[in-house]
Amino acid sequence: MMNIAASKIIDPHRLARLEHLLDRQDILDCLIRFSRGIDRFDRELFLSAFHSDAIVDAGEFVGGPEKLYDWASDLHERGQSSTHHNLLNHSCEIDGDVAHTETYYLFTGRNRDETNWVAGGRYIDRLERRGGMWKIGLRCNAVEWSGMIPATAIPFENVSGVHLNGVPSRSKGDPSYRRPLTNRREMRLPADLRELGVPRS
């Protein structure tokens, strides 16, 4: 029977894999901070994804993270009422304290004229671990396609009390920041289930 001490020994190869997975998760968490930060207009969260001396190449913009936030948030404030920077396929190569990643993205935005802007591309990043923290040191934004979808109504906007659990917001007033998240709506079953797929007119 294996003694207790021996049962606690972790195979070195397995331990290395676990450390690699932890690094990958920290890197993915960093990339998500960028996406959530710009979608919620959370400057502090956005900047926490970058080292202060990072360089970002994004279309017309080439510069540091603070100026990037100011430029991008102004662009989206004037152009859209909401945005989603969705992260998709993610590849990651780690070499010590440096990582190179490629992350596919799908951008969607609700324009001020109620049309919808969609675009796809890849974030090609070099991340560095400094002081135990993985952050972006260089980002290249490769936009590969873009298009517009005609104006359509937002489903359920006419439902009474639909926002009692929180109104989507580009601020810390968004329900995703509420702690603890609790239900404020009464239990309700639509009289006609077919209405669930019918947006307001």
pLDDT tens for the 201 residues of the chain, in order: 445 554 567 788 899 999 999 999 999 999 999 999 999 999 999 999 999 999 999 999 999 999 999 999 999 999 999 999 999 999 999 999 999 999 999 999 999 999 999 999 999 999 999 999 999 999 999 999 999 999 888 888 888 899 999 999 999 999 999 999 999 999 988 876 555 555 544
Tokens of 11: 């195979």
Domain that holds residue 45: 12-151
Residue 5 lies in a domain: no
User: How many domains does the chain divide into?
Assistant: 1
How many Cα neighbours within 13 Å face the side chain of 131? 2
Q: Which residues of 132-151 are buried (b: 16+ CB within 10 A; e: fewer)?
A: eebbbbbbeeeeeeeeeeee
For 105, residues 6+ apart whose C-beta sits below 8 A from its C-beta are 35, 85, 86, 87, 88, 120, 121, 122, 123
Beta bridge partners of 60: none
For residue 198, being part of any structural domain is answered with no
Fill in the amino acid letter for 60. E
pLDDT of residue 188: 87
pLDDT of residue 2: 44
Is residue 166 domain-resident? no
Let me know if residue 134 belongs to a domain.
Answer: yes
Query: Is 36 inside a domain boundary?
Result: yes
- For residues 107 and 149, give the distance between their C-alpha atoms in angstroms, rounded to a whole number: 13
Q: Residue 54 is part of a domain; what is its CATH number?
A: 3.10.450.50
pLDDT at 3: 53
Residue 103 within any structural domain of the chain: yes
Query: According to the model, what pLDDT value does residue 176 have?
Result: 97
What does the pLDDT read at residue 197? Answer: 54
User: Residue 135's beta-bridge partner residues?
Assistant: 128
Q: What single letter denotes the amino acid at residue 11? A: D
Count how many Cα atoms sit within 13 Å of the Cα of residue 66 in the half-sphere of its side chain: 2
Q: 11-32 burial by CB neighbour count: b if 16+ within 10 A, else e?
A: eeeeeeeeeeeebbebbbebbe
Write down the pLDDT at residue 155.
Answer: 83
200 domain-assigned: no
- The answer to the question of residue 162 being in a domain is no
pLDDT at 157: 83
